[in-house]
Structure 1
């Protein structure tokens, strides 16, 4: 049965960065005879303090694939993340057998969903594993953090300075504690849905930190041309599906052209639109993947019988096309894959929807290309 407009907007907000259902875990990292029995010791630094991580079913906790919990003054902790913020780390299979070797890093950002937890969010993706020859870091992006420092730091959600957390704390923390190649050429950022927006946002705002950026079904247009997506972001703030409920203006101020409150217009929303800063990606490797939710002149019916997320991806196709046009206008080359409804492509299984199957296939395509850019080969 078709939902009400309000419920559809709230559901769209959930799936604009929907969690990929963890049906299968990644392949275990190839062990070697020098592998320790526990993860490496990581020192508190850059405002991050380690907290105990409660055991959770089906969550990796090996020397190569593990979850830690950190607290920070930049972002309020949550109960689902043991009072802080989970961070999953996957090390290359030869990390311990080659103690002087250093590795490139991919920061992989989660999408928006109530009770988002990176400890399990990426567990359905075999490409995220020890055989890739790089370090994977999956830091908590929150259920609706939007990879931004919110305008209102006094909302019911508490401190929400996500960009400070990731850029000023997580990256240097990882470079300090792990054997990374700590330079732009060996650092990439990618994400799913809300995380795709976050990856592009971070690459545009910090092009000195990243050489590669990828978005998988990212909501890459927050301009007035995609008010539907802007309202979906607003819904993630105001719907009871996400707790605590906060104000519609807490993230970037008013989403409307005029307001009696600061900043008096939607200027911050326009500034957060990835297409407005496409030129900043000049010189970076840019990859964009999106489907069309089955296509058609109108969005598919959004109801409980839509396990493929066709309704959600239908809206994202237009947003990604707008972003691609901005890249082209700025003269920024990109690897742009619109797999439509999947027909005749490797994405046929997922039908071009907003779902973990599509993102699994996209990651399977992306990781070998990233390996080539990093100049690494996968382990057997």
Structure 2
């Protein structure tokens, strides 16, 4: 945008260590102390998004002096800003164009950022009884779900010049069913760096000692039941020794509990290494129970590896290879059959004519 003659600033909370080349763009909101205080208030009283008053006051003073023509919002949850104060300031500047990219559902619920896993639809009317109080943003003492819903509704509605942006048609449709339905919604898919994620040769197959096996890959920032970790264990039992499951993003504790036909890696900070793993795999499996627009599916396919995934959220919108497919959420048997079809095709192409194993 600078190259087109615009002046640009990025205001953000958390992790203030900004690389030197970006420092002239950056404005850090708040402090580590205020983030921790906001988090403690959330844990005790379920007031996520309504703390950080001092940090927000200071930021809004800076924003008032900067006077942006366009304000582009992203995630407002994360213990760093007070959303009521922010939107009160926004509404006082009706001439300012506002865009808000939603990356999850937190903006229109009374507590959670996702609700597909628990199949809740209270958000369509008014959240009152949340079954996910211990999920992000966690609260362990007193829930405040109904009041949170009302406060968000009052804060986020009535902005005269705001457009919502979502990375999937799935999330766009949810916003149209929520109290944000007064706003127009644009869908802009997330993209990946095709200069990095492309077919990339490596010796990973040899290092994994899997030259004669089907390699099934899974990648996540955090592995838990919502991401399908238990389903991977079940899939490993079904596949037995004829396939190797490789999971990236595990903790040291999780790696100790892997089955014999599973291998684990901690989170990698090397996109190049990740591209090598994607390319090595015969199939990428994504058994997530809830997601907006999983870019890991894009990365795997860009490296030439087909995807089999649960039909959760905007997952089907990410599939672009002919061999990729979705299966119903939680249907491990269909996941298994899809993987075995990949195996049969692999050995058929090699002239081996593989068959599905007995269980």
TM > 0.5 fold call:
no
**TM-score, reference length from structure 1:** 0.28
